[in-house]
Chains A and B, each alone.
Chain A
Amino acid sequence: MAVKQKVNIVAVVDVIGALSDGTLGNGNLCLIDDGPYDSRGQGTPQLETVVAPGQTVQWTALAVDLQTPVEIKSITFVGQDDDTSHRGNGAAHRPHESAQQQHPGQRPQSRRSSGSSQGLAQDRDNGDVAHQANGHKETYENLELAVWSGVVPYHLTPGTPLKYRLELQMYEGPRSTLTVESAALVATTPQQ
């Protein structure tokens, strides 16, 4: 049987519910995938997507009501060990940082990243400061352009869930970013 080459993981978000409650819990987030294997926790934030090495996994965020904004801000694999070491090693991947590293000569992203970032930064309280530690502000436009996909490496230990932290951004402001760390990828065993 030919293995499906791409697995989609879709984060369906009730944006108004999540922002009102200040959490992606309370049923405000459903994670689903269309993988060929038997993933657990479909429709919950505890989705464990079974993947095979060599497959491409793509994450997408979608607002329930379609007219509200939600984008993926970062996806960070936290694995089985403590996540602080990963932070230090730059395992948190954000489109703006990456773009800066990859294209140092690139013109800053349009008027919003330069002109409005100062004012917006002042409007924020401490809740969002951590994400601006590198001195850059990820604009919403940048997030919209990001495609969150990658190939499952062969060195992933089969059968052990590899948790990831999913950071979602809904609009802008001190309460606009919410995170869950309950979903995981699980590598299928070779015989499967």
Chain B
Amino acid sequence: MTTKAKPRTTTPRITNKRPISISAVVDAVGVLASLSTRGHVYLYDTNRTAGSTGFGTEQLRTKVKAGDTLLWSPLALECEAYVAIDGIEIDPAVAEPVRKVYPGTDVSYWTATVKSLPGEEVPYRIRYRVGTRTEPVTSDQSSFLIG
């Protein structure tokens, strides 16, 4: 019993690690006026000091390791505009993002745990819901997870 209890002290440390946040700043009016994200979406993450690059573009390259928790959320440039992530298209062998909501709200975010990383960078695309448009708009350029 005592010997088996020991590993429990190490387990929480993994789950407590700060997730890597990926934020998509969306110019909702720009996207709607052109039905394209090109030039209207700016991606950032909180892992710049570890080696992420491509800040402020759609081609963000986020530095990750297997086991990292990722959290995607959008931010509308026009504060009254509605922007949400509709889905994230990525190789399911690498990560399977799921939609969640902040407790007690209808504000959503997407999260995934990095399962494994191949040698090369992993591209993914974000689908956005913008304004009152019923059809989502898929990102024009891929973003990447890099090992």
A and B touch in the complex (CB under 8 A): yes
Which A residues fall within an 8 A CB radius of B?
A: 15-17, 19-21, 65, 67-69, 123, 170-176
Q: Which residues of B contact A176 (CB under 8 A)?
A: 33-34
**Cβ 8 A contact of A19, one of B29, B36, B38, B82:** B29
CB pair A174 B28 closer than 8 Å: no
Chain B contact patch, size range: 10 to 19
Within 8 A of A (CB), among B56-101: 78-82
**Stretch from B1-9, B120-128, B129-137 contacting the other chain:** B129-137
Q: Which residues of A contact B34 (CB under 8 A)?
A: 123, 172-176
Tell whether B20 is near chain A: CB-to-CB under 8 Å: no
CB pair B35 A174 closer than 8 Å: yes
CB pair B131 A175 closer than 8 Å: no
CB pair A16 B78 closer than 8 Å: yes
CB pair B32 A175 closer than 8 Å: yes
Q: Which residues of A contact B19 (CB under 8 A)?
A: none
In the complex, A65 Cα to B131 Cα: how many Å? 13
Nearest chain B CB to A99 CB, angstrom units = 24
Q: Which residues of A contact B131 (CB under 8 A)?
A: 16-17, 19-20
Q: Which residues of A contact B38 (CB under 8 A)?
A: 123
In the complex, A15 Cα to B36 Cα: how many Å? 17
Main secondary structure of the interface of B (DSSP, over half): loop
CB pair B80 A65 closer than 8 Å: yes
Closest-by-CB residue of B relative to A17 is: B132
**Cβ 8 A contact of B81, one of A16, A170, A175:** A16
Q: Which residues of A contact B147 (CB under 8 A)?
A: none
In the complex, A66 Cα to B32 Cα: how many Å? 17
**Cβ 8 A contact of B29, one of A16, A123, A174:** A16
Instruction: Known A15-B29, A16-B29; judge A175-B35 contact (CB<8 A).
Output: yes
**Cβ 8 A contact of B33, one of A17, A65, A171:** A171
Tell whether B30 is near chain A: CB-to-CB under 8 Å: yes
CB pair A19 B33 closer than 8 Å: yes
Nearest chain A CB to B140 CB, angstrom units = 11
Instruction: Known A67-B78, A67-B80; judge A170-B29 contact (CB<8 A).
Output: yes
In the complex, A67 Cα to B80 Cα: how many Å? 8
Nearest chain A CB to B99 CB, angstrom units = 21
